[in-house]
Every structure is written in structure tokens, then in C-alpha cells.
Structure 1
Amino acid sequence: YPPIEHILVDGGSKDGTLDLIRRYDNPRMRWVSELDNGLYDAMNKGAAMASGDYLCFLNAGDAFFSSDTVERMMSPTVQNTSPDILYGETAIVDDQGAFLHMRRLKAPGKLTWKSFKQGMLVCHQAFMVKRSLFEPYDL
């Protein structure tokens, strides 16, 4: 999926993360390294930096299931259906990336506002939302 942009938000780490970011820096990537107030503050910083139509968050240690995950998730928009939210299931893997099992909580067949009464049933890394929906609802 060519028009992807990478936003990296580092919490001011001192472990060589900045060197790694600088090594892979490219025009489709923006980053910031500063103290934050936790995961959701960092995610909101990243969302504010984004310019794309959709947002998806991969936090430390997260990865997409396969190299074509974004392309597969975005195929409905390419076909002009433009859904507000795209989501899927989450696989749990070990440190080497070997499949262990599917996440215990299953994503609902149809996601509605009522779905959130029991918490977030869809993991961040399996959830893509239109930026225009994210901003007013502070998702």
C-alpha cells in the first residue's frame, strides 16, 4: 500500500532507539522523541502528526500479521467503499514471531458504540480508523 506514512513517537528513551530511527529515516517518516505521559499520550501525539486518511497504531513489540496486512485492510477503501473503521483479530506470537494462539477476546462481528461497554474488544494493532473520526471523538 504505497501512500503509507510512518509516525514514530519515542518517549525520550536512552537505549539507542534514536540511532535506529535516524538510520531508517526517509521522506515517508516523521518522528518525535520526548517525554510523554504514557501510551495514550504517545498515540495522541502520533495522531496529531499524521496526515493520512486512516490511523493505525503499532506500539513497542507489536507487528502486523503479515507484510500485506495494510494492503489487505485498505482494499475496501481502494474500491471506494471508504469505511469509518476497519478491524480484525489478533494473533499472539512468541519472541521469534512463531504463532502461539489467537487472542482470547474475539472482535465482534459488527462493531458499534455498544461494543465498547465491555472495554476495547479490538487490539490497537488490529484497528484502523478514519482520522476524521478519531479527532472529534478523541479515540
Structure 2
Amino acid sequence: MKVSIITIVYNNVNTIASCLESVQSQTYDNIEHIVIDGKSNDGTIDIIKKFEKGIDVFISEKDNGLYDALNKGIGKATGDIVGILHSDDMFYSFHTIGDVVKHMKKTNADLLYGNGVYVERTNTSNIKRIYSSRPFKKAYLKYGWIPLHTTIFVKSEVFDEYGLYDESYSIASDYDISLRWFLNTAIKKTFLDEFIVKMRLGGKSTTLGLQKKKSLQDIKIIKRHGLPGYFTLACKIGRKIPQYLKRG
């Protein structure tokens, strides 16, 4: 099975190399890497060019935000399975993609998800938070449970049948699309109890300054999908506390 990995980036000269290395060092050899750059001007493009032999699609142009960039990447993907690796992030091990494909074949799932870790920005061996998941039950969703988005891999037809990211949610559309997937009983899901991704703290999605904006969009999404409003939001926020307590 061919796996399309989509990386979006804008002015991330300090971490893009480790992201690209992470993809190119995977032991699974049928990977299509799609890199969508938002017209970086800080040297990011120069670094990307050093890895161009392992990049199948590279686009550098202005976009309308991260979900526009992701949708652009999905439109270019030709793989059987699609996953996302942001420019701050790395796969947890060299055999991550191979493990994902093996488990999806074994279970015949449309969607796979797993565990992830947040690491220190400059020392990625220092784990600061552990984001654990579990086998899926629909009831978990009302308590704010949702897998870490970058641990989710879906078959390409999931996007074809159920749509792309809703760009009206500028910072929380990953939560919206995840709920669309997990509430949809037609999408067969499987949990891989392994660490899939390392995410650096301090990126756009983890800064405190944007958490209020994200929560406002989250509550709109929660209500849109018929979940119990501020109760679900409070549970979703509260789930971060044990992530710190579990860190090694």
C-alpha cells in the first residue's frame, strides 16, 4: 500500500530538516511525501531543496491558512493511505509507517490512530507530555476524548466520500474532521497501541496565546456535532492534566 505523508510549513527553518529526515529514514519504502510551503522567506525553502530527492511533490505559494494548505496536499495525494506530519514533528521510530500499514492491512480498517508524545523543542529526547489513546467507544466523545490528530491515518477514499477540512475553522478544523470521522459508523476504525509521533512543544497549536481562540472554535464544533456543550469542552481541556502526570 502506498502512503502519502503531507507536511505543511511556513517559516520553520529550525525544525523542517528533522521532519524531512524523519520521513526519509522510514524503513517502509512506498511513501509519497508531499510538502506544501506557504511561501517561506526565512531559509526554509533552501533546506527543503537539500531533501528534494525524497520529496515527491513540493509546492511553495501563499495560502489561506493551514487547512487550506492541508486540503491542497490532500488534493495532490495519490496514496492508498494519507497521514500528516507537521514541520515541527517527527515520526516516533524508523518503522512507524511500516507498523501503521501492517496494522491497517490486518484489521482492514479505514482509519487508524495511536499514541503520541510532546517533546521539548530543543531536546526532542525529553518527553514533556504523553498523549495516550485507547480502543474507540462513541461515548468517549462527549467526555472530550479525541486521538492526537497527527497519529491518525485514513484511507484516501475517506476524504473522497466525507470531505476535506472545513476552512471556516482557522485553528480547530482538525477537531471538526476528527469528530466527523469518529461519529461516522461507516468508517471502520482501529487503535494501534504504539507511539506514532513526536510533537515539539511551542509550535502554533501549543502556544497559550491561541488557546482561547481554539476553545471558542471548539465549542462551536462540539455543538455542531450534538455533543453536550461546555461539559465536553471542559472535559477536553481537563484531559491535558494527566498527560503531564504520565510523562517519563
Interval containing the TM-score (normalised by the shorter chain): 0.7 to 0.9
Q: Is 1:74 matched up with 2:104?
A: no
Larger Rg: 2
Displacement, 1:77?
A: 4.0
Shift of 1:119: 6.5
Provide the TM-score with structure 2 as the length reference.
0.49
1:61 corresponds in structure 2 to: 88
> Which residue of structure 1 lines up, in the alignment, with residue 133 of structure 2?
107
Unaligned runs of 5+ in 2: 1-27, 165-248
User: What is the Cα deviation at residue 54 of structure 1?
Assistant: 0.6
Higher relative contact order (Cα pairs below 8 Å, separated by 6+ residues): 1
Shift of 1:118: 6.5
TM-score by length of 1: 0.83
- Computed over aligned residues only, the root mean square deviation of the Cα atoms, in angstroms, reads 2.3
Alignment length (residue pairs): 135
Q: Hey, which bits of structure 1, 4+ residues long, moved more than 4 A?
A: 114-120
Q: Which residue of 2 aligns with 1:13?
A: 40
Change (3 A) 1:75 1:62: same
> Could you say which residue in structure 1 is the equivalent of 2:157?
132
Contact 1:92/1:100 (CA < 8 Å) preserved in 2?
yes
Secondary structure in 1 matching 2:91? coil
Structure 1 residue 124 displacement after superposition: 2.6
Residue 101 of structure 1 deviates from its aligned partner by: 2.5
Percent of matched pairs sharing the same residue: 35
Any stretches of 5+ residues in structure 1 without a counterpart?
Answer: none
